[in-house]
Amino acid sequence: MINIVLPVDFGDKTEQLVEGAVKFAKQLNGRIFLIHVAPSDIGFAIGDMGYQYFPEVEANEIRAELVELNKIEQRIIAHDIDCEHLLKQGIAKDTILEYAKAKNADYIVMGSHGRSGIYDVFVGSLTKGLTKDSHVPVLVLPIHD
């Protein structure tokens, strides 16, 4: 069976990305390893007293993201595709590559939102970083309006 790692960010194009990954998995008789990488600084905020940590904010955000991840997993399973998920805090690129290695991934499926130029210079592109550093093929699905 082909192992496909599918990182999701819960953005407005996530559904299109999942649909594309499901099609790909069906064609290859693959299973999907769904991952969401939450930032490590979720519970931090800048206030009058500088940086403050609010563990209840972090816990609530992680719970909400886990609910979303479970919903996506169930939609994938409804298409008769094996799926499991992981929610982890950390640096997205490194965490995704570690997960791909741990799951013996044959592919990583990512979406390209069509951003370019100045956006990539200042923010960087997770997809670009993964294609550069991955030891397995990265399938980039165009996700546009």
pLDDT at residue 105, as a whole number: 98
Q: Which domain holds residue 16?
A: 2-141
How many domains does the chain fold into?
A: 1
Q: What is the signed CA dihedral for 38, 41, 46, 51, rounded to 10 degrees?
A: 170
CA distance 109 to 2: 12
Pick from 67, 70, 47: nearest CA to 59:
67
pLDDT at residue 123, as a whole number: 37
pLDDT at residue 14, as a whole number: 92
Strand, helix or coil for residue 117: coil
pLDDT in tens, 43-73: 556 666 666 666 676 677 888 999 999 999 9
How large is the average pLDDT for residues 126-145? 86
How large is the average pLDDT for residues 102-117? 82
Of 48 and 76, the structure prediction assigns the larger pLDDT to 76
Q: Report the share of the chain in percent with pLDDT over 70.
A: 79
Instruction: Supply the pTM of this predicted model.
Output: 0.84
| CATH code (residue 60) | 3.40.50.620
